[in-house]
Amino acid sequence: MKRTLGVLGFVLCLNMTTHSMAAPAADVGAQDLVKGENLLKNKLYGEARAALEAGITKNPSNVQAHFNLAEACRGLAAWDCAEEHYETALHLDAKSRITGTREARLSKMKVWQSLEEVTAWRLLENAKGLLAGGQAQPDKIKQAEEDLDGAHELGLNTEQLALYQQLQAKIPRRRSPTSPDSLRADGLAEETLQTDPHKVPMALVPAGEFTMGSTLRADEKPVRRVYLNAFSMDMYAVTVGQYAKYVEATGMEAPPEWETMNQPQHQKRPVVNISWSDAASYCKWAGKRLPTEAEWEKAARGTDGRLYPWGNEAPTRLHANFGKKEWANHMALVPVGMFELGKSPYGIHDMAGNVWEWVNDWYDHDYYKKSPTKNPQGPTTGKSKVVRGGNWLYLQESLRASFRFNADPAGRQFGYGFRCAKTP
């Protein structure tokens, strides 16, 4: 998982300081870029790649040119090239939005989907090469296993899944995701961690005080020290695979768009379209409960008053999934646990971005002014419930660990999910 994240993220840092976002002269590389785009439209991928590479040499900050080159490389099954230029296009597009440069805007959702697909292809092809030619050496087998796992985490289409299964069969005693041989060091299969609701790893948050609230919004004031008893929090948001087991076991009604969500490629992505009562019922069935708002905030930011789960550094694509524009049939979300750099001080994943998370409390704009400073439970009544953490659609403001948002408890939205807590 760490390796896959590194692959998806490393090019974001390319040319951060060397590429100017100033608008280039209109004729710099323009002829090559126009030629390359026309060749791409005619599916002449090799010629398109050559022309676009020539144009980018002269105009390296052209967002659309990098996207077109990625598309040409994808058509040639040149996965490394496609990855690099999808990532560079995303980086330059984000920079141009910040600086106000008048560049053509990308459909980020389309680029991210394409990026995940070509990364999965690259990992599968790497594994295929490592396993070619008969008996592979142990180190090559291990690397092939890691590549296959990385591809599987990203989600596979039908063609990719067929290759994945063929390659699995070539690995001696290849561990099945649900077999006893796949046990991790902590005694649980990774697949089990993300599909068995009763065996999800939890992080213990010890008893003590923490800084709650901020001065940035009225409903986060006043900042104060709050004492909480010890509690445990799920390391990951509840996934589609886990929720499917709940629906099967209880006969409860599935959430809207369930047929879209409950597909093989989405099993490790968070479940959404969940109401507050759906979330509370699931946690009760799993022998847990929804966290209080105060518990959620402490689990996200620890005791040092940091802005985000990872610290005070502004969010990047290495920290969280945010700022996308289209749900795209659940592809806007990423599998849980993908952002190692975004973990909270307690090692809890994805507490910023991906999905808003329901907590137990009713929402009251002025609750902090009158709430107790020991184990606050929220107002006794209200019209809306609190959700925390931002989601795939929202920008960085909502990713702050102290950010509060209120939602209709009966609402079921593409960005609403949850995780559970437990009293030790």
Give tens-digit pLDDT for 86-96. Answer: 888 887 877 66
Which CATH number is correct for 202-422, 1.20.140.10, 3.30.70.1380, 3.30.200.20, 3.90.1580.10?
Answer: 3.90.1580.10
Determine contact, residues 334/267, Cβ cutoff 8 Å: no
Q: 140: which DSSP letter? A: H
Q: So where are the chain's domains?
A: 2-106, 121-174, 202-422
* Amino acid at site 263: Q
Helix axes 108-130, 63-75, angle to 10 degrees: 40
Rounded alpha-carbon distances, angstroms, from residue 120 to 2, 79, 117: 14, 9, 5
pTM: 0.61
Mean pLDDT on 363-377: 97
Measured CA to CA, the distance from residue 302 to residue 331 in angstroms comes to 31
Task: Give residue 106's pLDDT band: very low, low, confident or very high (50, 70, 90).
Answer: low
Q: Are both 2-106 and 202-422 of the same fold?
A: no
Mean pLDDT on 113-127: 88
Mean pLDDT on 331-359: 94
* Amino acid at site 189: A
Between 64-68, 150-154, 229-233, the lowest mean confidence (pLDDT) is in 150-154
Architecture, CATH, for domain 2-106: Alpha Horseshoe (1.25)
Mean pLDDT on 187-207: 71
Span 244-296, pLDDT tens digits: 999 999 999 999 999 999 998 899 999 999 999 999 999 999 999 999 999 99
